Amino acid sequence: MVKHIRFNLLTFITVFVAACSGVQYKAPAIDSLAEQKALTEIEAYPMPVPKKIMSSVEAERMLHRVYEKLVSKAREVCWHVKEQKTCWWDVEYSAERDFNAYATDNNRVVVYHDVMTQVSTEDELAFVIAHEIGHHIADHIDETETRTGVGGVLGAIVMGAIAVNAGPCYTYSCQKNATDAVESAAKLGSAIGSITYSVQQEKEADLLAAFIVDRSGYDLVSTRNVLIKLGAMAGKKKTGFFATHPAGPERLATFENVIDLVYLDDDGMPDNQHQKR
């Protein structure tokens, strides 16, 4: 019974939150053959990914050198998208020895030391930075926070209604079980809300990054190498239902189509799918 309720709750929240959200700039679809080709390429990549010896000063200089080349074109894309009020970002270096970067509050982008030591070219680094800027341009952080809040409220409301319909509850244990159920439902709803569309957001950030990188004069084809590395490091073949990022093969295959889209685009700017309808 509990599993049945949880499944129905999960389905309801997922459908409701998905109906209220969505990405504006959708990456082209892929087929299974393209995904298999990408998987083959990723699996052929030699591991581990080699690291260059680089001081913190050198890594930070490299980061800001590439960002300075990107920023003006990133602002042009930001103005075109019109999702953000402020098209400025603070790109920060972190001494953490890990291949990681993330977008966070207040238009900040944090890039870890080993991104600089493990990319083969500045084209790859440009894509990493532009991808995180893409999250800001598309307002993904605020959208995710909104979905998380909505999911939590929905979970609590639905479970509360179920508890009321179950009949009177007068004992301590009954009251505690009901309270725990509502709290658990709220947490489940928040979790569902946070991951709904997160895979699509990653693809949207990749698409926006591709336009930024290309407009900035970097080699867009070379940037795909960083996706091969990420796919090899992650080792995932398929994107799971609760995944926050597309698996390497799906992401690489999608990006191949994004490259074609960018090169064939008339004005060098991403097209809003909703406005084209």
Contact predicate 126/135, CB 8 Å = no
Mean pLDDT, 10 residues at a time, the chain of 277 residues = 48 48 85 98 96 98 99 98 93 97 95 98 98 95 62 52 58 64 55 59 96 98 97 88 80 98 94 64
pLDDT in the model for residue 17: 46
Q: Positive or negative, the Cα torsion across 124, 126, 132, 138?
A: negative
The predicted structure's pLDDT at residue 210 = 98
Residue 155 near residue 12 (C-beta atoms within 8 A): no
Both tokens assigned to 195: 């991951």
Position 94 scores a pLDDT of 98
Instruction: Judge whether 49 and 232 are in contact, CB under 8 Å.
Output: yes
Residue with tokens 């990681």: 100
- Burial (0-12, 13-18, 19+ Cβ within 10 Å), 220: buried
How is residue 162 written in tokens? 């179920």
Going by DSSP bridges, is the β-strand pair 101-104/90-94 parallel, antiparallel, or unpaired?
A: unpaired
Residue 175: the pLDDT is 64
Q: Are 246 and 254 in contact (CB under 8 A)?
A: yes
For position 174, what pLDDT does the model report?
Answer: 65
What count of Cα atoms within 13 Å lies in the side-chain half-sphere of residue 27? 26
DSSP helix/strand/coil, 148: helix
What 3-state DSSP class applies to 268?
coil
Amino acid, single-letter form, for residue 248: G
Beta strands in the chain (DSSP E): 90-94, 101-104, 108-112
Name the token pair of 77: 């894309």
CA–CA separation, 39 and 133 (whole Å): 27
The identity of residue 13, as a single letter, is I
The DSSP annotation for 195-262 comes to HTTHHHHHHHHHHHHHHHHHHTT--HHHHHHHHHHHHHHH---S--TT-SS--HHHHHHHHHHHHHHH
Scanning the structure block, which residue is given the tokens 């970002």? 89
Give pLDDT tens digits for 110-154.
999 999 999 999 999 999 999 999 999 999 887 756 555 554 455
**């001081």: which residue's tokens?**
55
